[in-house]
């Protein structure tokens, strides 16, 4: 009991001593940007793990405690977290992060969303009513999100607004410089076809002039069937698509089977920093990995 009380007091003292913004972020990619923008003025907790399927995170009760103590909640939005965030928010009883509050940051705001369905029809699979939510794989969207976060943090912590804004600009400049490099690296492969498991690479493909239009799952959220895979294999041969990209949470065996039938390479990729080895460094490290490994795979399979 004594030690318990001591811990409680220690926690209370610690909480009052640090005036850092307590931020909870749903996915690791947004967390990486928040870390860059917030610097040491913020304390960040990420809910989804980098290797995890962001659509199907378990609504663990421990997340309720984290959300209860948060002063900011950053989410991707566009229904990415619809399967698990609502019950957590209902339990969190934290008015600061209810929707519409300054502490609730929806990163999809200000992004030009793609594939917004004109009709909602689940016979086409589990479509997102607000468009394809995997927008962070376009570095230019990461730039918008960084600015968005700087504004949001600045509103909540006016004294550090300048720092946040400077951090975001610095990150933006770095992205711009890197962008030239990435574009140059991928320039020789403009128009090349790449096969993915789920339609989560649209924004990346569009930014770098690649084509990622062939998917191992027949419709969003529908598991691959043998007949669909056979169709994918024949289409790959037709299009001369020789690289299959797989996220860490997807079935690599399915991809390997398809690759065997088409003499293609399976490339491990991730939407989130830390999802693949060597990407733990953050957003830039992730993009470096994606661009370089893709260029290598495409170069090897002419």
Partner 1 sequence: MKSNFLWASSLALGLGALTCYADDPATVEKLQQQLQQMQENFNRTVREQQTQIEALKKQLDQIQRKESIQPKGTIPSSPPSVAVPSAPASGSETKPWSPTDPIRVGGRSAYVDLSMVGTFAAGTSTAHDIEGGTQMGGHDPNQRGFTTQGVELNLQGAVDPYFRGNANILFQLDSGGESFVELEEAWLETVSLPANLQLRAGQYLTEFGRLNTQHPHSWGFVDAPLVNGRLLGEDGVRNPGIRLSWLVPTPFYSELFVGVQNSQGGTSDSFRSDHAGEPFLGRIWEERGVGSLGDMLYSTRYAMSFDLSDTQTLLGGVSAIFGPNSTGGNTDTQIYGADVYWKWKPATAHAGFPFVSWQTEAILRRLQAGAFRNDFNGSGTLDAGEDVFGDGLIHTAPREGLTNWGLYSQLLYGFREGWVGGLRGDYVGRTRRASYELAYGDDSDRLSRWRISPNLTWYPSEFSKIRLQYNYDDRDKIGVDHSVWLQFELLLGAHAAHKF
**Residue nearer to partner 1 on the CB measure, 189 or 272:** 272
Nearest distance, CB of residue 49 and partner 1, angstroms? 5
Q: Does 248 bind partner 1 (CB under 8 A)?
A: yes
Helices (H), 53-160: 61-69, 85-92, 139-156
User: Bridge partners of 214?
Assistant: 195
Q: In what order do the strands lie in the sheet with 193-196?
A: 211-215, 193-196, 243-246, 265-268
Q: Which of 46, 108, 262, 293 binds partner 1 (CB under 8 A)?
A: 108
x/- site string to partner 1, residues 32 to 51, per CB under 8 A? Answer: -----------------x-x
Q: Does 185 bind partner 1 (CB under 8 A)?
A: no
Which range in 37-45, 89-97, 277-285, 293-301 contacts partner 1 by CB under 8 A? 89-97
In which residue are the tokens 């924004």 written?
A: 203
Half-sphere exposure of 190 (CA within 13 A, CB side): 6
- The count of chain residues that interact with partner 1, using the rule CB under 8 A, is 67
**Residues from 258 through 287 that contact partner 1 (CB under 8 A):** none
Q: Does 134 bind partner 1 (CB under 8 A)?
A: no
Q: Which of 55, 134, 192, 242 binds partner 1 (CB under 8 A)?
A: 55
Please tell me the distance from the alpha carbon of residue 123 to that of residue 137, in angstroms, as a whole number: 27
Please tell me the distance from the alpha carbon of residue 255 to that of residue 191, in angstroms, as a whole number: 22
Q: Does 15 bind partner 1 (CB under 8 A)?
A: no
In which residue are the tokens 């928040």 written?
A: 34
Q: Does 79 bind partner 1 (CB under 8 A)?
A: yes
Q: Which of 9, 39, 98, 187 binds partner 1 (CB under 8 A)?
A: 98
By DSSP bridging, strand 211-215 and strand 265-268 are unpaired
Q: Which residues, 6 or more positions from 28, have their beta carbon under 8 angstroms from its beta carbon?
A: 46, 48, 49, 50, 272, 273, 274, 275
Please tell me the distance from the alpha carbon of residue 69 to that of residue 47, in angstroms, as a whole number: 14
x/- site string to partner 1, residues 211 to 230, per CB under 8 A? Answer: ----------xxx-------
**Residue nearer to partner 1 on the CB measure, 112 or 234:** 112
Q: Which residues, 6 or more positions from 294, have their beta carbon under 8 angstroms from its beta carbon?
A: 186, 189, 194, 210, 243, 245, 267, 269
**Residue nearer to partner 1 on the CB measure, 25 or 88:** 88
Nearest distance, CB of residue 59 and partner 1, angstroms? 5
Nearest distance, CB of residue 143 and partner 1, angstroms? 6
Q: Does 181 bind partner 1 (CB under 8 A)?
A: no
Please tell me the distance from the alpha carbon of residue 11 to that of residue 118, in angstroms, as a whole number: 50
Which residues contact partner 1 (rule: CB under 8 A)? 7, 11, 49, 51-53, 55-56, 58-62, 64-65, 68, 77-79, 82-87, 90-93, 95, 98-101, 104, 106, 108-112, 116-120, 122, 125-126, 129-130, 140, 143-144, 172-173, 176-177, 179-180, 221-223, 248-251
């Amino acid at each position: 009991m004594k030690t318990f009380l001591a811990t409680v007091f220690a926690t209370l003292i610690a909480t009052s001593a640090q005036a850092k913004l307590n931020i909870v972020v749903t996915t690791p990619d947004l967390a990486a940007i928040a870390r860059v923008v917030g610097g040491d003025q913020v304390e960040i907790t990420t809910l989804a793990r980098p290797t995890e399927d962001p659509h199907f995170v378990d609504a663990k009760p421990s997340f309720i405690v984290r959300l209860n103590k948060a002063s900011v909640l950053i989410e991707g939005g566009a229904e990415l977290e619809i399967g698990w965030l609502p019950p957590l928010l209902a339990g969190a009883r934290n008015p600061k992060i209810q929707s519409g509050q300054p502490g609730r940051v929806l990163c999809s705001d200000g992004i030009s969303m793609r594939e917004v369905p004109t009709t909602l029809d689940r016979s086409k699979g589990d479509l997102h009513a607000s468009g394809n939510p995997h927008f962070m794989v376009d570095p230019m969207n990461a730039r918008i999100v960084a600015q968005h976060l700087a504004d949001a943090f600045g509103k909540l912590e006016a004294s550090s607004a300048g720092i946040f804004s400077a951090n975001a600009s610095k990150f933006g400049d770095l992205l711009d410089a890197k962008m030239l490099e990435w574009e140059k690296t991928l320039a020789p492969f403009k128009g090349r076809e790449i096969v993915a498991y789920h339609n989560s690479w649209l924004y990346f493909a569009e930014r770098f002039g690649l084509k990622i239009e062939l998917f191992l799952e027949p419709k969003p959220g529908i598991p691959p069937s043998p007949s669909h895979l056979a169709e994918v294999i024949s289409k790959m041969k037709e299009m001369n698509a020789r690289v299959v990209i797989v996220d860490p949470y997807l079935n690599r065996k399915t991809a390997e089977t398809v690759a065997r039938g088409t003499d293609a390479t399976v490339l491990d990729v991730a939407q989130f920093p830390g999802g693949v080895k060597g990407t733990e460094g953050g957003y830039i490290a992730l993009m470096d990995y994606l661009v370089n490994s893709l260029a290598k795979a495409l170069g090897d399979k002419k």
